[in-house]
Each structure stands twice: as C-alpha cells, then as structure tokens.
Amino acid sequence: MFRARDTAEIAFGAEAVEVTDSLLADDYAGGRLDWVLAEHRRLFSEPVPAGTNRVLVGHRTPAIMVLGPRVGGDAFPEGAVLALEPAPEPRILAVLVLAPVPGGGFHGC
C-alpha cells in the first residue's frame, strides 16, 4: 500500500493523491474483498468528465480478478500500467510494460 501511495505522490504530487481502502490488494482486504472488487468494478466502469483521466495506483491482483483472463497471467505483469476505457464492460486499451533495467534491477525485476 505504501509503495502504491509513494508512486502516486511522486508521479502526480501529494496534493493530487487521494488514498482509499478501495484499492487494497486482495491479500490485505480480508473480509472486505467483495467490497474492494466492487469498487474496482465501479472505478473501471464509471465515466470520467470530458478531457480528464482517472489514474488508479494500486495492485494488479484485484484488477485481474475483476477483468479476468484478458489481463491474467503474463498479460498484466507486476509494475505494468493498464489503460482502460471506462464502460460497463471496460475496454482494455493497452498494457504498458517498463523496459527492463540493465543488470536485472532490484531482485531481477
């Protein structure tokens, strides 16, 4: 959770970041997992105002649980960006994967 918040604050500035339990990772959600998945569904489908974007910085497993095999397995690796068009059935626009760090980076990631 802290890495997700830190990433968002570095990317967009702390004043632009709203921290919410609705983006918890599945293994931290406990008895709230159904609510966390419902919040992901809502955020993935709810339209945004014209000329804006919604950026969610969280964990991939709830996204995989909501979107299913379209992003399962290696289709949405750790550290990647999932670009969606919000809709009742969200349209996957892209999965952006960072270029590998020469020498393997931290723990070979």
**Cβ neighbours of residue 49 under 8 Å, at least 6 residues apart?**
none
Local confidence band at 11 (pLDDT 50, 70, 90 cut-offs): very high
Note the pLDDT of residue 105.
64
Output the six-digit token pair for 98: 């960072």
More confident residue, 37 or 29: 37
Instruction: Please write the tens of the pLDDT for every residue from 33-72.
Output: 999 999 999 999 999 999 999 999 998 999 999 999 989 8
Quick check: 85 and 93 in contact, CB under 8 A? yes
For the entire predicted model, the pTM comes to 0.82
Q: Residue ranges per domain, the chain?
A: 2-108
**Cβ neighbours of residue 101 under 8 Å, at least 6 residues apart?**
109
